[in-house]
């Protein structure tokens, strides 16, 4: 269960959709700019710890793995434990063209950045447990301590961008070793294969 929480933590930390008033077209014309706008909105939500909005915007199939209320409680408990996140220095790489699968549209995006996590606690067990979880999901070489119970995670990530064909809401599913384990539970194998070829 602990490993599952860290898998979902890393996934939902980067799962959200564009705000309802975002100007998103239903064609390929502006989808790259719209994806960037939606992703920056996601970063703002995670940086401020607005977990209900993050969870409400999550790719709905995640709730087949963990109930919505349970996930909200888990993230709220991080605030109570003094765990704060701040993602910064985000730079976008390639964003692919859209591919279609049934009623959904997909694109793949790459980005780099730094996620700063501060644990405001003297509980050494909590700090070590959380550090181990970050190293498990991000790779030990990408997690560094900057002192005062603060850790930087170097991000070099691939993200699946997903929306319904008649919707203006983009959802994001960041790939990491944990998410790859549950990916077949979220997406069809045919679309996974297509995305891997992009």
Domain limits of the chain? 2-197
Weakest-pLDDT range from 6-15, 48-57, 85-94: 6-15
DSSP of the chain: -HHHHHHHHHHHTT-----TT----SSSTTHHHHHHHHHHHHHHHHHHT-HHHHHHTS-GGGGGTS-HHHHHHHHHHHHHTTEEEEEEEEEEEEEPPPEEETTEEEEEEEEEEEEEEEE----HHHHHHHHHHHHHHH-GGGEEEEETTEEEEEEEEEEEEEEETT----EEEE--HHHHHHHHHHS-HHHHHHHHH-
Please state the rounded mean pLDDT for residues 159-173: 88
The CB density around residue 30, as the number of other CB atoms within 10 Å, is 12
pLDDT surpasses 60 at 71? yes
Q: Give pTM, 2 decimals.
A: 0.81
pLDDT for residue 149: 92
Half-sphere exposure of 35 (CA within 13 A, CB side): 29
Reported confidence tier of residue 155, pLDDT bands at 50, 70, 90: very high
pLDDT for residue 36: 94
Please state the rounded mean pLDDT for residues 143-163: 92
Tell me which range, 4-8, 66-70, 173-177, is most confidently predicted by mean pLDDT: 66-70
Residue 129, C-beta contacts closer than 8 angstroms, at least 6 positions apart: 2
Q: Six-digit token pair at 74?
A: 């888990």
Reported confidence tier of residue 7, pLDDT bands at 50, 70, 90: low
Weakest-pLDDT range from 60-64, 67-71, 140-144, 159-163: 60-64
Q: Six-digit token pair at 176?
A: 């990491």
| pLDDT tens profile 74-94 | 888 888 888 899 999 999 999
pLDDT for residue 1: 46
- Maximum distance among all Cα pairs of the chain, rounded to whole angstroms: 51
Contact between residue 57 and residue 17 where contact means Cβ atoms under 8 Å apart: yes
Please state the rounded mean pLDDT for residues 114-139: 88
Average confidence score pLDDT of the chain: 83
Alpha carbon distance 122, 44 (integer Å): 28
């Amino acid at each position: 269960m602990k490993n599952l929480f860290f898998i979902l933590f890393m996934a939902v930390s980067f799962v959200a959709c564009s705000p309802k008033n975002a100007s998103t077209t239903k064609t390929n014309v502006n989808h790259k700019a719209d994806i960037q706008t939606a992703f920056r909105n996601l970063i703002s939500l995670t940086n401020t710890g607005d977990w209900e909005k993050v969870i409400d915007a999550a790719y709905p199939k995640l709730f087949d793995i963990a109930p919505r209320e349970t996930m909200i409680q888990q993230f709220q408990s991080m605030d109570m434990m003094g765990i704060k996140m701040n993602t910064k220095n985000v730079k976008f790489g390639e964003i692919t063209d859209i591919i279609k699968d049934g009623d959904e549209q997909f694109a793949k995006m790459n980005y780099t950045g730094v996620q700063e996590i501060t644990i405001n606690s003297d509980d050494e067990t909590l700090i070590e447990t959380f550090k181990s979880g970050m190293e498990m999901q991000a790779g030990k070489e990408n997690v560094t301590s900057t002192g005062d119970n603060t850790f930087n995670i170097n991000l070099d990530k691939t993200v699946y961008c997903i929306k319904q064909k008649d919707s203006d809401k983009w959802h994001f599913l960041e790939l990491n070793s944990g998410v790859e384990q549950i990916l077949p539970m979220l997406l069809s194998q045919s679309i996974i294969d297509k995305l891997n070829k992009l």
